Amino acid sequence: MAKREKTATESLLQIALGLEIIVVFFGALALNGLRLYSGPVVLIGSIVTVLVLLVLYRAVQYRWGQLLGHVVQVALLASFGWDVAIGLSFAVVVAFWVFGAIRGPMLDRNKPESSQ
């Protein structure tokens, strides 16, 4: 069985999601260290966020997964309402998501067809 070849869009969006998981991890450490929220609140919020991002990591190969990813990115930007530092952290990786969502399809359209 031949292995499916990833598209440029899928690769770029998966990189953005990986970066978001890293931001969630370090953000959880910072929030826990600052004691702004109780430990269980930070842990549960972080786990739920990482699980959503991991599901998206697998789903971006499909168009519906990419659309769901756009919705999740808007939700991550909504974290500005919770805390400006968290919002700024997510704004950086959301910008990379936007780059991947725009540039990825352009790269896919220009890719030569496989000769197999």
Per-residue pLDDT reduced to its tens digit, 20-52: 999 999 989 988 898 888 999 999 999 999 999
Helices (H), the chain: 8-34, 39-59, 63-77, 84-110
* Residue 69 located in a structural domain: yes
Position 5 confidence tier, pLDDT thresholds 50, 70, 90? confident
* Residue 81 located in a structural domain: yes
User: Which residue do the tokens 């496989």 mark?
Assistant: 114
What pTM was estimated for this model as a whole? 0.87
High-pLDDT (> 70) share of the chain, %? 97
Total of domains in the chain:
1
* Residue 32 located in a structural domain: yes
* Residue 1 located in a structural domain: no
* Residue 23 located in a structural domain: yes
Q: What was the pLDDT predicted at 114?
A: 57
